[in-house]
Structure 1
Amino acid sequence: MKAMLKLFAVAVCAAVLAACGGGGDKTPKPVVVVQPAYKMTETAVGTGRAAVSGDLVTFTYVGYLYDSTKSDFKGEKIESSVDIGTTFTATVGVGLMLTGWDQTLIGMQAGGKRTAILPANLAYGANTRDAQTVNNIKYAAITANAPLVYDFVMVNVSPQVVIPNVPATELKTIDVTTGTGTAVVNGQTVSVRYTGWLYDGTRSTFKGAKFDDNTATGDTLLKFVAGGTGVIPGFSTGVIGMQLNGTRTIIIPANLAYGATAQAATARYGVVIPANSALVFDVTLVSSP
C-alpha cells in the first residue's frame, strides 16, 4: 500500500509541475492513473451452491470510484442496484458482465458478501460515463481508466440451464426461476427487464451476439400489454404465464420477431439484427397489476 501511495504522489507532482510550467519542456504530460491490484475480500460466507462459470446468478451491487486515501478505498458512488431496490441477474463467467464482476462472483453462495477492488482493465477500461442522477440520487462520473470498488451480495445461484435443442422455427419458453403470485394472462399490462441475443444454433444456450438489454442501473423498464402489439409478437406472447420476479428464457423464431426486415445496429451494443433472424431473450417480470 505504501508503495502504491508513493507512486500516486509522484504522478501528482509530475502533473503539477507540468501545469505550472516547471522545467523546460512545455509539452503536456499525459495523466497516468495508478492502478491498484485486484483484491477480493469476503465479508460474509453464504450457503448452498457455489457459483461456477455458466451458472445463473442473482445479486445486488454498489459501485464506487477507487480512492486510495480512504481506509475502505471507497470514493464517490457511481451506480447501485440497491438504491433502486432491484437485483441483477446474469450468467456468470461467460463474458456478459464486467471481467471483474465475473472474477469476483465465481464461488459466491446465496447470502454471501464480497467487496472487490477492480483495476480499470477489469472494469470499464478506457470507456467513460458522465455523472448522472437516478431516482434523485446523484452518481459520479466514470473517467477513462478509473479503478473501481464494488460491494456484492449474492441473492441466488442456479445451475446452468441448457435450452432444449430445438430448431428456431417455433416459440419456446423455459422458466429459469419461477416467480410468485398470479400468472400473467393475455391483455395484462406488465413491466420487465430483458436481455436479447441473436439465436446461435452452435451454442448450448443458443445465445449468440447480445444486441440489447435494459438491465443497467437507470434503465427504464419495458412496459407493454401481454399478447398485444407493443413489442414483437414472440416477446409479447412469450411472457404469458410468468409470475412476479420470475425469469424466463424465450426462443423466438424469425416470423414472430422481425421477419424479413433487418434491424439497424443497436445503440447499446452496435449489433445488427439480420433479416429472418431468430432471437433469444432472458426476461424477468418486475411488475404486473
Structure 2
Amino acid sequence: MRRRSLLLAAPVGLLSLAGCGDDSSGSDRGSPSAGTESPSSPPKATIVSGPLPEVTAGTGFGQKPTVAKGTGKPSGNLAVRTLIPGSGTAVGAGTFPQVNYLGQIWSTGKVFDNSYDRGRPSVFQIGVSQVIQGWDQGLVGKKEGSRVELAIPPELGYGEDGRPESGIQGTDTLVFVVDIVHVFTEKDAAKGRTVRQSDPALPRVGTKSDGRPPSITVPRADPPKKLVADYVIEGDGPKVKETDGVLVQYRGLLWDGGKEFDSSYAGGRPTALYLQRVGVKGWAQGLTGKKVGSRVLLVVPPSLGYGKDGYQGVPGNATLVYSVDILALL
C-alpha cells in the first residue's frame, strides 16, 4: 500500500487521490473519468516573496533538500519564491504537474512528508481544490524545471483543525520545497515501441503520439467474449498495480457501429482515476501489469463493462473498445 500524501486538502480528496486503494465504499459508476473536477475559483491569496527558511543542503534540482527551521514570525500571506527557474511548460489551473517535494513545519523544522524517499515523483491536479490551496495558488504559473519554495499559512493549508496525526497543528505554517519535473497537458501521449497489430478480428488503433485522439477502426465481426488488453505502443515505465491511480488519455467506442461514447480528449486535459474505483471493471483488469508510457487497446465485454443495463450513451450488453494512453502513476 502506498503512503497517503499529506498534500490532499480534504477527506474527499484523500479518498479520490490518495492512491492507497483501500476504500471499498462504491466506485465511479459512469465513465472512467467520473469524479474528475473542473477548475474552481477559491479566494485569491496575497502572494509575497518571504520570509522563507534557507535551503541548507541538497540545493540542486531533483536533490532531496534540507531546509532550516523558520526564524521569527512567518508571513500571514502565502510566501512563494522560485529558487531555480525552469523554462518548460507552465503550471496552469487544471494541469497535472509531476513533482518531487518536501514539506516541514515552520516552527520546528519537522519534516512531515516528502516524495524523494518514495523513489518517484507524485502527480497532482492543480487549481481544482484537490490539494491544499497554498499549492493550488502558489504553483500556478511556475514552469517545468523550476524549484519553488512556499510558506503556507494555516488557512491555505489544513485549516484550524490541522492534521494532528501528522504533527501539524491548526496554527502551523507549512514550508515546502517543490521540484516541478513535468507538467502533463492535453499534448502528452504514449511514447515507446510500436507493437504490431496483426489480428484482423480486433480493432486497430492509430500509433501517432501527437496528443490528438488516435484513430480506432472496429472490424465488422463478432466481438470477443473475453477481455482483450493489448499493447499498441509499449512504454518503458513502471508496471501499473491494481491499487494504483493513473493519469490517462483515452477514447471509448461501441463495438457495434463504432460510435464514440466517451473521451478524455473532449475535455481538453488528461484524466486521473483509481483502478479500484472505476465502474468499468475491464479497466482495472486490463491496465494492471501494463507499463507507464504505453498505449493499450482494451476490448471490454458487457460483464466487465456496463452489463445488461448499460449507461448514458451505452446500450445494454454493449462491448466497449478503448484506446488508453497511460501517462503516469499518481
Relative to the length of structure 2, the TM-score reads 0.44
